[in-house]
Amino acid sequence: MKKASLKDIAQQAGVSTALVSYVLNGKEKETRVGEAIAQKIRLIAKELNYQPNHLAKSLRSGKTHTIGLIIADISNPFFANIARVVEDEAKKNGYTVIIGSCDEHAEKSWDLLNVLINRQVDGFIIVSCEGSENQVHYLKERNIPFVLLDRHFPEIQTDFVATNNYKASYDAGIHLIKSGYSKIGIMAYKSNMYHMEERVRGYKHALRDNHIEFHDAWLKEVHFETMDSEVRTAIDEILASEQRLDAMIFATYGLAINALKYINELRLKVPSDMAIVSFGQAEVFDLYYCPITYVRQPLEMLGKTSVEFLLKKLKNPEEGMKQILMEAKLIARESSKAKAVAAG
């Protein structure tokens, strides 16, 4: 049994497709369709289990009610969760989301962008990866609506929804200092992306404001692709140095996971051998023998707001630029508890 189309209904009802379209779209009033014929049309539609063809609708209207979501790394649970939020929120508004992960590769991101543009998505929500500025410019030029999520480029004027990473990292530093730690390192991705730089900057300022001198060796930058080995090397270096750190901030979930694995192998104890605060959030942090203190980003709000911004823009393309920085919250757990000797 083939799918029923407007035509089929029209034939059965003995009317033109226009009438059917009007009735089924609730425009009977404006277009003055007779009550009797309207009833008949609705009945036949139900009988044939009519389902409109989205392709045809979209082709005609130029709107697909589809959002392209490009995520820098879907294997990161933070992003996976944010994707869920975006999907749910979009669905609530009658939009479908097509998700793609570029795995932190600008090239892949570019491919995705094109595939999704071909698929006629109405707009994009993008967690940008390094080196994708040109793509942002492209979207602006082509006048394709989009919102940057979680990461943005301060030098490009765009809509965005992101976390105040500077503040989050600053808070993490302050928290460790207040808990009695003073030799505090940070591990981050080697990257010139703004959100990463902000995390390092916040950490540095926390030290500075507490008259702790920052040493270059305290900042460990590793490459995303070769994280596995570089994290180990970095931790080896930290342990070998005379200035033995007593606490570390991990700027991302992935770094923390890799580091924790290695720390376990080395039989180091958290927090006595090393206190830890990490960005990102996941069940792992709860179930680790020593629950990990982490920076909780307003995941739900980030996702929802990004959808909200985009949909507003889709409804009214003239809408002004929307930018928002949301505050993260430090969730203190065992992994950063006050040093025995220090003040509680």
Nearer to a second copy, 12 or 81 (CB): 81
- Quick one: what does residue 266 bind among a second copy, DNA, none, with the CB cut-off 5 to 8 Å set by partner type? none
**Distance (Å, whole) CA 219 – CA 249:** 10
Q: CB under 8 Å to 128, separation ≥6 — which residues?
A: 72, 109, 135, 136, 148, 151, 152, 153, 193
- At 185, phi and psi to the nearest 5? -105, 175
**Distance (Å, whole) CA 186 – CA 169:** 10
Beta carbon of residue 202, minimum distance to a second copy (angstroms, whole number): 26
Q: Do the beta carbons of residue 58 and residue 120 sit within 8 Å?
A: yes
Count of other CB atoms within 10 angstroms of residue 173: 26
Tokens of 55: 């392709």
Interacting residues toward DNA by CB under 7 A: 3, 5-7, 14-19, 21-22, 24-25, 27, 31-34, 36-37, 50-53, 55-57, 59-62
- Quick one: what does residue 96 bind among a second copy, DNA, none, with the CB cut-off 5 to 8 Å set by partner type? a second copy
| Packing angle of the helix pair 194-208, 165-178 (nearest 10 deg) | 30
Q: Do the beta carbons of residue 78 and residue 253 sit within 8 Å?
A: yes
Query: What is the DSSP pairing of strand 219-222 with strand 247-250?
Result: unpaired
- Quick one: what does residue 17 bind among DNA, a second copy, none, with the CB cut-off 5 to 8 Å set by partner type? DNA
Backbone φ/ψ region at 191: left (φ over 0), alpha (ψ -120 to 50), beta: beta
Nearer to DNA, 21 or 182 (CB): 21
Distances (CA, A) of 242 to 93, 165, 238: 57, 30, 9
Beta carbon of residue 26, minimum distance to DNA (angstroms, whole number): 10
Interacting residues toward a second copy by CB under 8 A: 1, 51-56, 58-59, 64, 74-75, 77, 80, 84, 87, 96, 98-99, 101, 114-115, 117-120, 141-143, 257, 260-261, 264, 282-284, 286-289
Beta carbon of residue 22, minimum distance to DNA (angstroms, whole number): 5
**Distance (Å, whole) CA 72 – CA 149:** 10
- Tokens 């083939």 locate to 2
Nearer to a second copy, 289 or 344 (CB): 289
Question: Cis omega before residue 154 (within 30°)?
Answer: no
Nearer to a second copy, 96 or 233 (CB): 96
- Quick one: what does residue 74 bind among a second copy, DNA, none, with the CB cut-off 5 to 8 Å set by partner type? a second copy
Nearer to DNA, 284 or 314 (CB): 314
Beta carbon of residue 78, minimum distance to a second copy (angstroms, whole number): 13
- Quick one: what does residue 113 bind among DNA, a second copy, none, with the CB cut-off 5 to 8 Å set by partner type? none
Nearer to DNA, 19 or 177 (CB): 19
- Quick one: what does residue 6 bind among a second copy, DNA, none, with the CB cut-off 5 to 8 Å set by partner type? DNA
Beta carbon of residue 218, minimum distance to DNA (angstroms, whole number): 55
Distances (CA, A) of 180 to 62, 184, 210: 60, 10, 12
Query: What is the DSSP pairing of strand 66-71 with strand 123-126?
Result: parallel
Distances (CA, A) of 88 to 85, 193, 215, 300, 312: 5, 28, 45, 10, 17
Nearer to a second copy, 98 or 338 (CB): 98
- Quick one: what does residue 19 bind among a second copy, DNA, none, with the CB cut-off 5 to 8 Å set by partner type? DNA
Nearer to DNA, 115 or 156 (CB): 115
